[in-house]
Amino acid sequence: MSGSSLVADQFLEAPTQAQRERELVHRHRLGDESAFDEFYQEFKSLVYNLSYRQCGSPEVAQDLTQEVFLRIYKSLGRFRGKSSLKTWTYRVCINHCRSRLGRKNLPVSSLTFDDGSVREIPDESPGPAEKLLAVDAARRIESALPVLDECYREAVILRDLEELSYQEIAEILDVPIGTVRSRIARGRERLRKVLERQ
């Protein structure tokens, strides 16, 4: 067998992401604890970051993350593969944050900013000063996010911070793409106004 056909055979045998996900879920259904450990390691940062951006509090985000993974542990066996595990995980996390936080119970971080502006960072490789400005801008934006209405906050987080496509966001939020675009535009505008007032 030639080297090129061996490489082609190995390529054809490599499991797809969907196949790996189905195998992980199948192992979880059979009671293989390591399957959930793998799932947790892959998605723990995603769940914590999304929870934190929804609430603005590290302590609340840790609690939400534990609750989301408990919910996922109980329901992972029912995952049917209609979307990717990543999209499904985003949806579970968003829905849990909605039900737990609500608009009235959302903790709001302090919005005291030095000058109220968000600086643009050039595309060139940033130096130390630019990195500090980027960190400061990110801190300001993340501290302002809890002020936004839930629907705008979710859309802005998923697009601008999680960098998901409009199609992925539409699947996660279960709304048409046009609604996603509208929420992102309105959310960005409201976020800009919040930052300008500070």
Mean pLDDT of 145-164: 88
Report d(CA 126, CA 98) in Å as an integer: 36
Share of the chain above pLDDT 70, in %: 74
More confident residue, 138 or 81: 81
Q: What is the DSSP letter of 159?
A: I
pLDDT in tens, 90-118: 999 999 998 888 743 444 333 333 444 44
For 22-80, the pLDDT digits (tens) are 888 889 989 888 999 999 999 999 999 999 988 888 899 999 999 999 999 998 888 88
Convert 127-138 into a string of H (helix), E (strand) and C (coil). CHHHHHHHHHHH
Of the two residues 124 and 68, the one the predictor is more confident about is 68
Q: Looking at the predicted structure, is the pLDDT value of residue 124 above 70?
A: no
Which stretch of 28-37, 80-89, 137-146 has the lowest confidence by average pLDDT?
137-146
Q: CA 160: distance to chain centroid?
A: 10
Question: Which amino acid appears at position 27 of this protein?
Answer: R
Query: Is the dihedral angle over the CA atoms 109, 198, 161, 178 positive or is it negative?
Result: positive
102: left (phi > 0), else alpha (psi -120 to 50), else beta? left
Contact 183, 152 (CB under 8 A): yes
Distance of CA 75 to the CA centre of its chain: 19
Strand, coil or helix: 195: helix
Alpha helices in 102-176 (DSSP H): 128-144, 150-156, 166-173
Beta strands in the chain (DSSP E): none
Which is more confidently placed, 6 or 61?
61
Could you tell me the two tokens for 100?
Answer: 């737990």
Closest to 195 (Cα-Cα) out of 158, 140, 153:
140
